[in-house]
Structure 1
């Protein structure tokens, strides 16, 4: 729960576009999922129709094959009964012992013109040769209890040796059910390979005397179930679903499925096969097609199970999942890209309004296009322009009043500055006669000319030159005991600064920090540009006496609250004045900072904005 709360606070609570992206992505995900489910269901129904139709086609092909087998048997029997010689030959065979039958055949051949009389056995062999699916024909004699097995390559005669009742029961069953498998009744098939007989089925027909209509025996034609598979492979290379061939009693004489086969068994779900076209519970939920094979008393059952449908739809389902995920990802990426574009516009407006809130009314929002964000930007720009006009109109008098106060503060420095300068000249004249007096007076005159100017804003170069002249006076005064290092970036020489900001700092060092008895006094003045913060940094560093810790703490406190220093004429008036003037002109973000250690020197840092010539 805490993770969700942190995620909400960090990414959603105050981020409108993230909420829009999340909501839109959720909607698109739901729509894509609905579309994918509908497409999947449509394709599943199509696959079910195709599988069912293909299964029905396979069942139809098989029914044609079985009907042809049945018709060939009937045609062969009709040929025997339609030919008097063949029917007489069959009747004599069934009613006499085989030795008598052979003698009868020899007598017929010995008669003039009777050499070409055909036998029923040759006709049956011809039938077997013309029908690859039939593997043999058996003729059984009721009166004499013997049977003959006729195969394409052999012919055998055998006598019944078992119980009479077993034969009679078997014959009674085959009279009722013409089609059946062989492996259940193996008395006729003791010479047949058991492995082969397990996949064979037979058709039985009772034989009658065509003249007396007496029942003389039974003919049974056996078939190889493997030939059905070969026939299907040649006519329907891909068998869809499961194919069963059942007799009228429900015995399965062919099963296309080799594992868990129902071959030779009574199909347990025969009663449910009337529900064609519906899902019914067999071994599993399935759809069935049932075709009757002419008058042969056979049924071809096509079964399409749900598991086979599921196997056909696995690749479809995986493809739909991948495509749906790709569409969702593409939608999310496209939406995020578009939203990020508008988010950047909003962030630009927010940043500009923040600068306006900080007082920079010169800020203008540049927004391309003609949408609502551009209209908002234009309204903000118009507001800034009106605010600038209002400020110019209402606060001009207040600015003028502050300017007068600044001039008054500057005037406090002049007497102190002139006193110190004249004192230096006096001491120089006293200690060393008139040498260098002319140069010092010249430098003093230059300073006077600069100071009497009414301009309160000068360039940084002019201010630093003033400090340089001032320090030259003291270098001449303390010859060999003061070293001066002045550096300035060329780029900021023309920038604007308030007059007499740096000179009081330098003067503060001469008055309070200079060690007149030492010869290693050094003061450095550096003016550089801070590109990152768009301001000018001026540092004045010396190795003078430094400031005691208590005094430094007091000065730091007064710089933080300049109003508390009012009336403290002796309390670092130069530093306080400079700091207050900077804050009044440039704002509270600018001013000076003091860093000092007693006996090691002082570093004073001045920060002012980077203002080009013509700004003030």
Structure 2
């Protein structure tokens, strides 16, 4: 047996199972449908609970991450303020600033002599110095590892730590650190290179970051050196663990995007590869993976604290929740199925009886009624159904039949309303032509009139588009002969719609309106065009002229009448033909079709008719 044959066999078996156990057994169908609904509801409920719990966990972790970011923000703000306090003390005390400038501008031996002379002059036992100020700072700031002061003029630097102090004046030092100091002139915060200014032991992997600021002579504003404070990044981790429950990732970035602290130690010392926007804080951002981002600026320090909660960390915390929800949902589904099966089974017999009666009604026997004893809900359904059947038969007999009769009567009445009006104007045109010209062209006009009579006396109310336009052309020929040289006509018909069906005498009343109301008999440039074309599922017939047009107030009244805003006009109304055409279109084809009109007084009028594309014998 081929694969195709096996597939056909499986489809046949499934169909037989559906016919035998579902389609023909209401009991099984109700159980299956109700169970399916309950499964969907339980699944939706479980999903909503899971989403709620996920959002709660996400919110908790994001809040915890934000709290950690706030704690670190306070920590870094204090660091920055303490450093700025040092500079304020140095520049606020003339003795300290003069001493520091002298130290940077002279050899160390000269500086010692300067200190000795200063001590001798003042006579103070404890003379304040920048060295003492920096050592006190290191004792009070546990996160600071060391302070280094670099002299631009003399190419040396002093390294001060908690345990020692050393002066380095090795050759080549300036060129060696020139690039690094040039970069520190641009931004204050940065990571520290290992084994250099910090004095780290070779092979040490301790992470450090530092704050640097240039020193200037307060009198000349000349750049004389740089002060660099080195901090131990491990103190940040200790601070966070002691004051907050760290959730997610915490990083500190300087103004150029360099990472000076990374709780996961991945991007330390590197430029962070992703652009973070403060206005998107709290939104999902595509980083190494989709993550929630909290971003805080550390005052005026030029640092940003970034907290990141990754989507994978959220999924790890919700894995056990997801497993538990699945198990609980399965248990509830099984219980729901068992309860449904027990309850619905009691109504199986009555339902089968209703099905048999409904099958007979479905076959077209509207006289069939459901007979059922009792006073339960199923009996009420059968009684209501019987009442509905009675009303349906009455409605068909009363409304449908009377509607057909009424429609035919209206069509006949509207058709008869057009004919006398049309014949009167046509005969009057022939009479006037005979009076003014004599019998010279009467024969041609009588021939045209006979063609129109022949079309009008046909009992059929439907003709082809070609026949309707031909009749309109013959009608125009009568007036073209009467007003020789003063009327120009143009007829265009799309060949694709010539054989389509249309109501008889739709176009002629519109043309007649032009002849009676818009034609200018004293002028020789009168023009009228009739164009019939297809537009998707519609036939569009446009009659346009360059006649006298319609005044604005009268045009508004006509449009309101077409839209049923005003009552239909009486027989003396000048646009009775236009209203007649519109009503017949709506009556036959529905309110989606009809007549629209545009006109400018003194320039002309355009009437547009839209009907559906129907071939002979077709109905809307």
Normalised by the length of structure 1, the TM-score is: 0.52
**SS state at 1:270 partner:** coil
Instruction: Measure, in 1, the Cα distance between the counterparts of 2:126 and 2:253.
Output: 42
Instruction: Measure, in 2, the Cα distance between the counterparts of 1:212 and 1:225.
Output: 37
Query: Would the alpha carbon gap of residues 374 and 266 (structure 1) be closer, same or farther in structure 2, given more than 3 Å must change?
Result: closer
**SS state at 1:254 partner:** strand
Q: Does 1:245 align with 2:252?
A: yes
2:71 counterpart residue number: 61
1:149 counterpart residue number: 159
Any conservation in 1 of the 2:282–2:292 contact (CA below 8 Å)?
Answer: yes
The equivalent position to 1:265 in structure 2, one of 260, 267, 270, is 270
Cα shift at 1:197: 5.6
Instruction: Measure, in 1, the Cα distance between the counterparts of 2:334 and 2:184.
Output: 69
1:106 counterpart residue number: 116
Instruction: Measure, in 2, the Cα distance between the counterparts of 1:373 and 1:246.
Output: 74
The equivalent position to 2:214 in structure 1, one of 185, 200, 206, is 206
1:85 counterpart residue number: 95
Give 1 or 2 for the bigger CA radius of gyration. 1
Instruction: Measure, in 1, the Cα distance between the counterparts of 2:18 and 2:106.
Output: 104
Query: Would the alpha carbon gap of residues 18 and 304 (structure 1) be closer, same or farther in structure 2, given more than 3 Å must change?
Result: same
Q: Does 1:301 align with 2:311?
A: no
The equivalent position to 2:187 in structure 1, one of 148, 173, 177, is 177
2:197 counterpart residue number: 188
For residues 522-576 of structure 1, what are the alpha-carbon distances to aligned partners after superposition, in whole Å with 9 as ceiling and x for unaligned? xxxxxxxxxxxxxxxxxxxxxxxxxxxxxxxxxxxxxxxxxxxxxxxxxxxxxxx
For residues 77-98 of structure 1, what are the alpha-carbon distances to aligned partners after superposition, in whole Å with 9 as ceiling and x for unaligned? 2112222332233222222222
Instruction: Measure, in 2, the Cα distance between the counterparts of 1:187 and 1:162.
Output: 14
Aligned-residue CA RMSD (Å): 3.1
Any conservation in 1 of the 2:155–2:173 contact (CA below 8 Å)?
Answer: no
Cα shift at 1:127: 0.6
1:24 counterpart residue number: 34
Cα shift at 1:333: 2.3
For residues 104-146 of structure 1, what are the alpha-carbon distances to aligned partners after superposition, in whole Å with 9 as ceiling and x for unaligned? 3334444563211022112111111111111110011112111
Any conservation in 2 of the 1:108–1:115 contact (CA below 8 Å)?
Answer: no
Cα shift at 1:56: 2.2
**SS state at 1:222 partner:** strand
Q: Which range moved further: 246-255 or 8-17?
A: 8-17
Where in structure 2 are the equivalents of 1:367-386 lying within 5 Å? none
Q: Does 1:329 align with 2:329?
A: no
Query: Would the alpha carbon gap of residues 246 and 340 (structure 1) be closer, same or farther in structure 2, given more than 3 Å must change?
Result: same
Where in structure 2 are the equivalents of 1:154-173 lying within 5 Å? 154-162=164-172, 164-173=174-183
Cα shift at 1:284: 1.4
Where in structure 2 are the equivalents of 1:434-453 lying within 5 Å? none
Any conservation in 1 of the 2:257–2:272 contact (CA below 8 Å)?
Answer: yes
Query: Would the alpha carbon gap of residues 204 and 298 (structure 1) be closer, same or farther in structure 2, given more than 3 Å must change?
Result: same
Any conservation in 1 of the 2:27–2:351 contact (CA below 8 Å)?
Answer: no
Structure 1: segments with no counterpart, 5+ residues: 348-368, 376-616
Where in structure 2 are the equivalents of 1:533-572 lying within 5 Å? none
For residues 185-220 of structure 1, what are the alpha-carbon distances to aligned partners after superposition, in whole Å with 9 as ceiling and x for unaligned? x5424x312555651000001112233332221100
Structure 2: segments with no counterpart, 5+ residues: 1-9, 353-373, 381-620
Where in structure 2 are the equivalents of 1:598-609 lying within 5 Å? none
Q: Does 1:138 align with 2:143?
A: no
Q: Does 1:276 align with 2:281?
A: yes
2:241 counterpart residue number: 233
Cα shift at 1:229: 1.0
**SS state at 1:114 partner:** coil
Any conservation in 2 of the 1:147–1:160 contact (CA below 8 Å)?
Answer: no
Normalised by the length of structure 2, the TM-score is: 0.51
Q: Does 1:121 align with 2:131?
A: yes
Instruction: Measure, in 1, the Cα distance between the counterparts of 2:269 and 2:202.
Output: 14
Instruction: Measure, in 2, the Cα distance between the counterparts of 1:4 and 1:166.
Output: 83
2:318 counterpart residue number: 313
2:360 counterpart residue number: none
Cα shift at 1:34: 2.1
Moved over 4 A (4+): 2-16, 194-198, 271-274, 339-347, 369-375
For residues 141-189 of structure 1, what are the alpha-carbon distances to aligned partners after superposition, in whole Å with 9 as ceiling and x for unaligned? 11211111111111111114226444333222111111110127x5424
Where in structure 2 are the equivalents of 1:360-509 lying within 5 Å? none
Instruction: Measure, in 1, the Cα distance between the counterparts of 2:78 and 2:67.
Output: 17
Instruction: Measure, in 2, the Cα distance between the counterparts of 1:116 and 1:149.
Output: 22
2:297 counterpart residue number: 292
Cα shift at 1:5: 6.7
Query: Would the alpha carbon gap of residues 278 and 112 (structure 1) be closer, same or farther in structure 2, given more than 3 Å must change?
Result: closer
Instruction: Measure, in 2, the Cα distance between the counterparts of 1:63 and 1:271.
Output: 17
